[in-house]
Amino acid sequence: MRPLLLSALAATVLSGGGLFSAEVPRPNLIWILADDLGWGDLGCYGQQVARTPHLDRMAAEGLRFTHFYAGATVCAPSRSVLMTGLHHGHTRVRGNSGAHNPEAQALKPDDFTVAAALQKAGYRTALIGKWGLGDTGPAETGLPRKQGFDEFFGYLNQRHAHNHFPDFLWRNEEKIALPNVVVPVGGDGAGYAEDGILFADDLFADEALKFVSKNQDRPFFLYWSLVLPHANNERAKELGDGAHVPDYGSYAKMDWPDPDKGHAAMITRMDGYVGRMLDRLAELGLDQNTLVVFTSDNGPHNESKHDLSRFNPSGPYTGTKRSLTDGGIRVPFIAWWPGTVKPGESAHVGYFPDWFPTATELAGTEAPAKLDGLSLVPTLRGKPEEQKQHEFLYWEFHEGGFQQAALYQGRWKGIRQGGPDAPVRLYDQENDIAEQNDVAEKHPDIAAKIGDHLKTARTPLPEWEPRWEVPKGKGR
């Protein structure tokens, strides 16, 4: 019996409570998150102005999802949903509270992140780029290395991350000075550089490639949280141009205003980073054992003073960042894993909570029982008939009066604002993808079902209690 037992143990690896075949190594996991990139901002999703050849190649070689959603319509709660696997009404951080209430925008010690689960399972974990879920001082409970990351390099809060040419970044808990000279605007490192020298996302790209090379002999999880193409809000207010980049590249000779050149250059520069990563994985022989996901934290912004009509960043959908119509929450989502993920297109309806159970299933470890996500592994492995489906997806928004939204059966979008008993605006996405026609009166049973769900979908949280306001200009 003993030789048989030893043979069985030799064929498996015990980690994080799961048994894994030694012949099938656990995949590396890379989640690349763009900041304020719209569904229509990539060529493979219909973009006609900004060029994205590397992401278009990634989509051609991988699986392009057409009906995928971010966790929220603004950054901090969307990232909280991603990290915790809990939807917007259950996750810890439900809005951008910023410097006014930093503790409300920080994960707490009893939050359990996907990074912590993978770390426990033996993965080397790193966050490179923008965090937004913890900071020094009162919000230090949410610092990345207290939430499952072995390594961190980047921005802790989003006001600091507005400036693409900062005068400091964080490496773990150490402030690293940079040679950029910044004109401060407000606090938390926000402002703009008059003569930028080091561009933060360039540094993040180099750091991401180093992390992959350094950890090529063990499983790793890289959360690469880009800042592009987010605007420098302060620079836009002060100088009228929030699209601050090192150069305009191939757009320099276009007969466009500078914010338009800068915005297009941001997207193409970001695309180049992704191309470098895919090439590095192939060079290291890791491409066949690495799942790379590319997506965005919410819909497109309008804060660089660029012309939205030139770029049509929401594609056929209505709204932008801060909207609960699909333009604010439906995002590009590309999964690339040569040899495992077959090239194609998927209309599966998913959203950010799905990453936690997907990652832990691929890592061979258990996920918490009460997650709101559903593993995407069947879809990724080409077995859509085994893919579980969401009955409801849920979002909320706290700025300018509380709002809620839910998608029912992947077709019916209900939005409520003005009060817990206010009528639900209902849109049939199957026949009205732009969500222009309220069909609640034609389908009162469906509107009522969504309305009932909205009343029970969220758990109370003192920092994020609803403040209802009657919406202006709404007839219903």
HSE-up of 89 (CA within 13 Å, CB side)? 20
Side-chain half-sphere CA neighbours of 1 within 13 A: 0
Give me the pLDDT at residue 25, please. 84
Say if residues 201 and 232 touch (Cβ distance below 8 Å). no
Which H or E run includes 327? helix 326-329
- The answer for residues whose C-beta is within 8 angstroms of residue 7's C-beta and 6 or more apart is none
In whole angstroms, what is the distance from residue 49 CA to residue 36 CA? 17
Question: CB of 215 within 8 A of CB of 120?
Answer: no
Q: Please report the DSSP string for 266-305 in residue order.
A: HHHHHHHHHHHHHHHHHHTT-GGGEEEEEEESSS----SS
Those residues with Cβ within 8 angstroms of residue 45's Cβ, 6 or more apart along the chain or in another chain: 39, 64, 315, 332
What confidence score (pLDDT) does residue 278 get? 98
**How much is the pLDDT for 12?**
36
Quote the pTM value: 0.94
Whether cis (ω within 30° of 0) applies to the bond prior to 184 is no
Q: What are the start-end ranges of the H helices in 164-256? A: 200-214, 233-239
Going from the N-terminus, what domains does the chain have, and what CATH number goes with each?
Answer: 24-390 (3.40.720.10), 400-464 (3.30.1120)
Q: What is the pLDDT of residue 24?
A: 61
pLDDT at residue number 189? 84
Q: How many CB atoms lie within 10 A of CB 361?
A: 17
Residue 125 to residue 359: CA distance in whole angstroms: 12
Residue ranges of the chain with pLDDT lower than 70? Answer: 1-24, 471-476
Q: Which of 269, 202, 258 is nearest to 235 (CA)?
A: 258
Are the CB atoms for 148 and 117 separated by under 8 Å? yes
Beta strands in 382-422 (DSSP E): 392-397, 403-408, 412-417
